[in-house]
Amino acid sequence: MTNDEAYSYESPLTPESWGKLGMWIFLAADAMSFGGLLAGYGALRYVSQNWPDPKTALGINLTAFMTFLLICSSVTMVKGLSAVKRGDMKWGTIHLLLTMGGGIVFLGLQAYEWSHLIHEGMLLTGNPWGSPLFGPTFYITTGFHGLHVTGGVLYLALTVLMLRTGKWGANEVEITGLYWHFVDLIWILVFTFIYLL
Amino acid sequence: MTEHGTRAHAEHPEPNYMLVFILLAVLTGVEVGIVFLPLAKIFIGLMLVILAFTKAVMVAAYFMHLKFENKTLAIIAFTPIMLCVFLMLMLLPDSDPEAPGRQQPAPPVAAAEH
């Protein structure tokens, strides 16, 4: 069913599949990308005298719900994997679709939040409240994350299709799960540093 | 033909995912609540960082299964955090708010015409 049979040796750290090791290494590198954005944001904010207060400028309540939503989608992801491992393809697919749904709603809420902020004058070039760096650091970091969520939704769609046609199994779903949990994890950090601190 | 792909790490009971979920939800609520408390900013900041990293570790350990994986994989996963901390420390010498040119004059941009 999987490509594992083609190899005569196993991945040293992840005997289940080479793809799993590959995904972990990719995620480690991707974490550095976000780390660069967040460290840059921190450095710029630290030296700025008139940084707007995120609590008042941004919609914390909506974003708190978005955080909760992504956490829920991680739960459905892990339940989906659990179902596929037991051979329950029906519930596996349902949970993966629910995970996708969580991601799509998250993106919709992010789009709504962005349009609201842009309408208030928070742009890449400046904002009504303070340092003109507030906008770019916000949009680029959350936008980069949003792109990852979009990619994740597409990846989940592909996983559902491959699962239905029998080409992928539990190992591949696990790899999809790793990516999705990473997206959730990064959001937890972005939410804390950009919205709350 | 060996049955690789199915041989995995040692058997272990499935973590209580719902419990992890509830803890994550509670910690998120605490995070949001704490920013509105009349406490010293440095204390709030420290608590937020601790809470965020606790949540991140829980997602990594239980949802991403890292707790039950080969320890070397955990080292691979942990390395970016070390590098990010290093990055932040290396940015400190350039992070002097008093340096000339640092002050942001920034006349507020007028809100877009509605």
Q: Is residue B69 within 8 Å of A14, Cβ to Cβ?
A: yes
Position with higher pLDDT, B86 vs A10: B86
Mean pLDDT of A97-124: 97
Say if the Cβ atoms of A192 and B51 lie within 8 Å: yes
Task: Determine the distance in angstroms separating the CA of A82 from the nearest CA of chain B, rounded to an integer.
Answer: 9
A35, A121, A132 member nearest B84 (Cβ): A35
Q: Is residue B79 within 8 Å of A31, Cβ to Cβ?
A: no
Say if the Cβ atoms of B95 and A74 lie within 8 Å: no
Task: Please report the domains of chain A, with CATH numbers, ordered by start residue.
Answer: 13-196 (1.20.120.80)
Mutate to test the interface with A, among B27, B63, B79 (most CBs of A within 10 A): B63
Residue B84 sits at the chain A interface (C-beta within 8 Å): yes
**pTM, full prediction:** 0.89
Which residue, among A62, A139, A162, has the nearest Cα to A105 in the 3D structure?
A62
- Residue A36: pLDDT above 70? yes
Task: Determine the distance in angstroms separating the CA of A16 from the nearest CA of chain B, rounded to an integer.
Answer: 4
Nearest 5°: the CA angle B63, B69, B71 is 125
Contacts of A118 in chain B (CB under 8 A): 112
Domain ranges, ordered by start, for chain B: 17-86
Which pLDDT value is given to residue B10?
A: 59
Query: What is the rounded distance in angstroms from the CA atom of residue A149 to the CA atom of residue A100?
Result: 10
Predicted-complex ipTM score: 0.87
State the 10-residue block means of pLDDT for chain B, 114 residues long: 44 88 96 92 93 95 94 93 91 77 62 56
Query: What is the rounded distance in angstroms from the CA atom of residue A2 to the CA atom of residue A15?
Result: 13
pLDDT band at A39 (very low <50, low <70, confident <90, very high): very high
CB atoms within 10 A of CB A43: 17
Which pLDDT value is given to residue A25?
A: 95
Contacts of A43 in chain B (CB under 8 A): 88, 91, 94-95
Residue B86 sits at the chain A interface (C-beta within 8 Å): no
Which pLDDT value is given to residue B100?
A: 63
Listed by number, the residues of chain A in 10-69 with a beta carbon closer than 8 Å to a beta carbon of chain B are 10, 13-17, 21, 24-25, 27-29, 31-32, 35-36, 38-40, 42-43, 46-50, 55, 60-61, 64, 67-68
Q: Is residue A98 within 8 Å of A153, Cβ to Cβ?
A: no
Query: What is the rounded distance in angstroms from the CA atom of residue A96 to the CA atom of residue A73?
Result: 9
Which pLDDT value is given to residue B112?
A: 58
Half-sphere exposure of A46 (CA within 13 A, CB side): 16
pLDDT band at A97 (very low <50, low <70, confident <90, very high): very high
Mean pLDDT of A56-80: 95
Which pLDDT value is given to residue A49?
A: 85
Which pLDDT value is given to residue B6?
A: 44
- Rounded percentage of chain A residues whose pLDDT exceeds 90: 87
Say if the Cβ atoms of B31 and A196 lie within 8 Å: yes
Mean pLDDT of A41-56: 91
Residue B21 sits at the chain A interface (C-beta within 8 Å): yes
CA B91 to centroid of chain Cα atoms: 19
Say if the Cβ atoms of A31 and B81 lie within 8 Å: yes
CA A59 to centroid of chain Cα atoms: 19
pLDDT band at A34 (very low <50, low <70, confident <90, very high): very high
DSSP state of A167: S
Query: What is the rounded distance in angstroms from the CA atom of residue A129 to the CA atom of residue A136?
Result: 14
DSSP state of B92: G
Task: Determine the distance in angstroms separating the CA of B103 from the nearest CA of chain A, rounded to an integer.
Answer: 6
